[in-house]
């Protein structure tokens, strides 16, 4: 079982409007309400691929209840911990004429110190059943800055590899705790290292403590810097669609590869193909199985031989 931890889960609302008129009054044609947050998206992808997964993290209030009902409807097992605060909503306003989307992100609930302590106890009970734990996304207000570092240490105490997809202070503090894999995107890489060369930046994150680093570069695919070598994996073509959830699909594939011990080339091909298949699907956490099946055979993978010197003596 792969455990995903969503600390700042969300109830994602998608509003479709004929044409968004800023400063105006807009009638929403259809409303879709769905459990969201990066960990939830990762679990959705794992579940759709037929793998066992459990969603955990924090959920509260009416939005938290709606989120749980949606997970139950999707038959996604969850052991979310109830908190006093109200789970945030996100609103994606899809302009049907222009074909673009405006996103509104509520701030997360303020998590109380005793709720964080209870979550650590809760994970202590869930981790023995986990083959890997995925720690993705932002931290809600009230959590300690080193929350992910504490979770990586807790996972290590159970010998469970941790996959981290975070940014800023949460990422920096967790690196030294020794994650099995970190997956920043291009912006997060630059922000965390001050280096604009993604391969050099990924090497720097390895030096700071991550066993492997896979960075997502949008349409340019992924680069991986690992103890076994470094690669760039690119999709054979550029796909139009919704990029939200593409990173989560990559994390799902990379975590499966980690658990199964497949080759890095295979992991990266899967990650790029699933990512592209997620872009081709309108909802975050979903992917287009036909696109996945075609692209996994056609991902372009090149060895980046020159980076060994940057990272691993």
**Residues forming the active site:** 248
DSSP-derived 3-state class of residue 201: helix
Strand pairing report for 10-17 and 88-95: parallel
Interface segment toward a second copy; rule CB under 8 A; list 43-51, 101-109, 222-230, 280-288: 101-109
d(CA 161, CA 149): 13
97 binds a second copy (CB under 8 A): no
Residues touching a second copy: how many (CB under 8 A)?
Answer: 29
Asked if 68 and 36 count as a contact pair (C-beta separation under 8 A), the reply is no
Residue closer to a second copy, measured from CB, 87 or 173: 87
d(CA 130, CA 160): 7
Tokens representing 275 are 């990512």
CB of 291 to a second copy, least distance (A): 25
242 binds a second copy (CB under 8 A): no
Selected from 25, 97, 306, 309, the binder of a second copy by CB under 8 A is 25
Output b/e per residue, 184-197; b: 16+ Cβ within 10 A: bbbebbeebbeeee
Pick left, alpha or beta for residue 88 (phi over 0 → left; psi -120 to 50 → alpha; otherwise beta).
beta
CB of 21 to a second copy, least distance (A): 8
Selected from 18, 29, 96, 145, the binder of a second copy by CB under 8 A is 29
Selected from 93, 191, 217, 312, the binder of a second copy by CB under 8 A is 93
Selected from 72, 73, 105, 120, the binder of a second copy by CB under 8 A is 105
Tally Cβ neighbours within 10 Å of residue 59.
28
Tokens representing 67 are 């989120």
Selected from 18, 82, 96, 107, the binder of a second copy by CB under 8 A is 107
Residue closer to a second copy, measured from CB, 63 or 250: 63
66 binds a second copy (CB under 8 A): yes
Q: Dump the DSSP string for 277-293.
A: HHHTSSSTT---HHHHH
What does DSSP assign to residue 241? S
182 binds a second copy (CB under 8 A): no
Pick left, alpha or beta for residue 37 (phi over 0 → left; psi -120 to 50 → alpha; otherwise beta).
left
DSSP-derived 3-state class of residue 21: coil
How many residues make up the chain in this entry?
A: 313
| Closest by CA position to 192, among listed 213, 176, 168, 175 | 168
Interface segment toward a second copy; rule CB under 8 A; list 16-24, 145-153, 190-198, 302-310: 16-24
26 binds a second copy (CB under 8 A): yes
Selected from 100, 124, 145, 300, the binder of a second copy by CB under 8 A is 100
Tokens representing 86 are 């109200």
217 binds a second copy (CB under 8 A): no
Selected from 5, 6, 15, 223, the binder of a second copy by CB under 8 A is 15
CB of 109 to a second copy, least distance (A): 11
Residue closer to a second copy, measured from CB, 105 or 290: 105
137 binds a second copy (CB under 8 A): no
Residue closer to a second copy, measured from CB, 26 or 195: 26
313 binds a second copy (CB under 8 A): no
Report which secondary-structure segment, H or E, holds 78: strand 78-83
Q: Provide the binding-site residues for a second copy, judged by CB under 8 A.
A: 15, 17, 20-31, 62-63, 65-66, 91, 93, 98, 100-107
């Amino acid at each position: 079982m792969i455990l995903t931890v969503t600390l700042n889960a969300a109830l994602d609302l998608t509003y479709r409007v004929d044409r968004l008129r800023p400063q105006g009054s807009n009638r929403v044609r259809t409303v879709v309400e769905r459990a969201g947050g990066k960990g939830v998206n990762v679990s959705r992808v794992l579940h759709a691929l037929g793998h066992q997964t459990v969603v955990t993290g924090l959920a509260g209030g009416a939005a938290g209840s709606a989120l749980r009902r949606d997970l139950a409807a999707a038959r996604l097992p969850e052991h979310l911990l109830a908190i006093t605060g109200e789970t945030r909503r996100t609103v994606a306003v899809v302009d049907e004429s222009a074909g673009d989307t405006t996103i509104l992100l509520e701030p997360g609930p303020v998590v109380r110190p005793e709720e964080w302590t209870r979550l650590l106890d809760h994970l202590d009970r869930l981790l023995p059943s986990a083959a890997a734990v995925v720690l993705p996304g932002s931290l809600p207000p009230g959590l300690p800055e080193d929350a992910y570092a504490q979770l990586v240490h807790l996972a290590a105490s159970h010998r469970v590899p941790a996959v981290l997809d975070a940014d800023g202070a949460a990422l920096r503090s967790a690196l030294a705790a020794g994650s099995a894999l970190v997956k920043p995107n291009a912006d997060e890489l630059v922000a965390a290292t001050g280096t604009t060369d993604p391969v050099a930046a990924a090497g720097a994150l390895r030096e700071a403590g991550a066993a492997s680093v896979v960075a997502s570069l949008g349409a340019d695919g992924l680069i991986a810097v690992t103890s076994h070598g470094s690669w760039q994996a690119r999709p054979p073509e550029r796909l139009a669609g919704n990029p939200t959830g593409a990173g989560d699909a990559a994390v799902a594939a990379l975590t499966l590869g980690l658990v199964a011990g497949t080759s890095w080339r295979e992991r990266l091909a899967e990650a790029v193909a699933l990512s592209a298949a997620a872009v081709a699907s309108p909802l975050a956490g979903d992917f287009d199985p036909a696109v996945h099946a075609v692209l996994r055979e056609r991902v372009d993978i090149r060895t980046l031989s020159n980076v060994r010197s940057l990272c691993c003596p």
